[in-house]
Structures are given as structure tokens and as C-alpha cells.
Amino acid sequence: MLSTEPLLQAQEISLRDRQRTLLQDIDLTVSANEIVTIIGPNGAGKSSLLNILLGLRKPTRGKVIRSPELTIGYMPQRLQLNPQMPLTVERFLSLTHHGTLHIEQALEKTGVQGLKKTSMHHLSGGETQRVLLSRALLRQPQLLVLDEPAQGVDITGQSQLYDLIAQLRSELKCGVLMVSHDLHIVMAATDRVICLNQHICCHGHPDKISNHPAYLEMFGHATGTNVAIYTHHHDHSHDVHGDVLDVNDKEGGYLHKKHQDQHHD
């Protein structure tokens, strides 16, 4: 079932803009059924990297290899819709280029089926993100690319959203590549973390990363007030049903995955 061929592969990506190095020698792969999260501080080049991987921007050096006929479902960071443009959720979703899934189904998958006739301008932050996610699903993607999916969503909503993403991954067996600034909340739903600050500082399983000196140097001091919450998250994490999962185990992420698979069988 799992293909070993990566869906997306970046080789030695570098980006320079007016004598300034924005990205340096980035190597990265995303395979099917895998969630890869890029984290990093503001100005680390997360969005530039995502744009290069999506083909929206050309790197100065290096190349991006996509598996042939790769379908990408993309969820932009913000929609920035002009209020002068009347647009319902349904009309917005009908703008897809190769829609194969029905709009109702897509909205149901993200739990916002009641919003079909609502104006896009009247959605809350969480609803907007779910509608954007529905839109990405309409293309039945092999790879979901999510730019700060939890932007403008409150803390409870955030973990629900990441749970939903993890659930969609196991349902659709697609690869997921996302950008986030907050490791604590994404942790349970991520297989691999890439810590970016112009170059890749460290990468690997979220448990390893959260103890990595490079990560602590980047986020440890800045999030000093969150240390208590941080430790808590490190001790254990909750699955979708609120059961405590042991993530101190090195196979913690795997355990989580196995649990979900059992549930869906």
C-alpha cells in the first residue's frame, strides 16, 4: 500500500534575493501517508520554501522533483478576499479546476456541511480554515500542502484541526506537508519535523526535535512562559477521543498511528 517513491523531493534548494540568503541547501522529501511539518521562527523562509515546492517561485539553485502527475491540494495561509466580492462557500468551492469530489462530501469531511450557502465573509477563523481544507480535498490530492493551517483559530480549535488533518491523512493515504510555528500542538499529528532557519537546523521525529539543542535555542527562550505547558505536552498526548498516549516512547508517533488505524479498520 505504501509507496516508497517520494511524492515530492527537494534537492539542495537555495534562494537568494538581493545579496540576502533566504534559503540554503535545503533537502527534503515527502512520501505518501506521511505528515511532514516545517517549523521555524518568522523570517525563517518557511513561506518561500513552500512557494518553491509548489512551483510558484524559482529557486536560485537546486531542484524540486515531483512524482509524475502529482495532484496537490493547497491550502493558502490567508484568502484575503475582497469584501466587495460577493461569494458563498458553495461558489468558492465550485472554482476548482479538476473537481471530482462533490462539494457536500468535501464539506462533510471537514465537519462544516451546514455552511454551503453562507457568505465567505461571514465565516469565523476556524470555519474559514475548514472550508479551505475542503477545497483542497475536492481535488482528491495525493499531497496536501497546508500553510499555517491553524492561523486565526483558537487553541481548542487548533488541536481539533490538526486531529482532523491526521484523520484525513489516514483516510486518504495522502502525504501532508505543512508549515507551522507551533510544535507543541502539531506534535501528535506529525511524523517528521523539519526545523528551518534559512537552513535546516535539525529534523526528525517530533520527540527528538523538542529536545534538540538547535530547536531549544530557537524556541526555548522565546517560549519561556510556555514551559509548563510544554512539559505537559511532552509527558503525554491525547488522541482524538481524549485517551492518554505515551509519547516518551520513541515509537510514540507510531503508536498513535496504530491506534487510529485500528479504529478505522
Partner 1 sequence: MIEFLAPALIAGLGVAIIAAPLGSLIVWQRLVYFGDTLAHSSLLGVAFGLLLTINIQLAIVLSGIVIALLLVGWQNQKQLSTDTLLGILSHSSLALGLILVSVFDTGRVDLSTYLLGDLLSTTIADVVFIIGLGSIIGFTIWRYWHFLLFITVNESLAAVEGIQVNKIRLLLFLLLALTIAISIKMVGVLLITALLIIPAATARYLADSPEKMVLWSGILGCLSVIGGLTTSLLWDTPAGPSIVVCASSAFVCLLLFSAKVRAL
Note the residues at the interface with partner 1 (CB under 8 A): 51, 54-56, 72, 74, 76, 79-82, 84-88, 91-92, 95-98, 119, 135, 139, 145
Q: How far is the CB of 119 from partner 1 (least distance, A)?
A: 7
Spatial separation of the C-alpha atoms in residues 112 and 134, rounded to whole Å = 9
The residue among 86 and 224 lying less far from partner 1, judged by its C-beta, is 86
Q: Which residues contact 224 (CB under 8 A, 6 or more apart)?
A: none
Q: In what order do the strands lie in the sheet with 35-39?
A: 72-75, 143-147, 175-180, 35-39, 192-197, 199-204
Q: How far is the CB of 84 from partner 1 (least distance, A)?
A: 5
Q: How far is the CB of 61 from partner 1 (least distance, A)?
A: 22
The residue among 64 and 240 lying less far from partner 1, judged by its C-beta, is 64
Q: How far is the CB of 248 from partner 1 (least distance, A)?
A: 39
Spatial separation of the C-alpha atoms in residues 57 and 197, rounded to whole Å = 19
The residue among 49 and 202 lying less far from partner 1, judged by its C-beta, is 49
Q: How far is the CB of 79 from partner 1 (least distance, A)?
A: 6
The residue among 177 and 247 lying less far from partner 1, judged by its C-beta, is 177
Strand, coil or helix: 104: helix
The residue among 92 and 219 lying less far from partner 1, judged by its C-beta, is 92
Mode of pairing for the β-strands spanning 61-66 and 8-17:
antiparallel
Dihedral over Cα of 6, 167, 120, 147: its sign: negative
Strand, coil or helix: 257: helix
Q: How many CB atoms lie within 10 A of CB 241?
A: 8
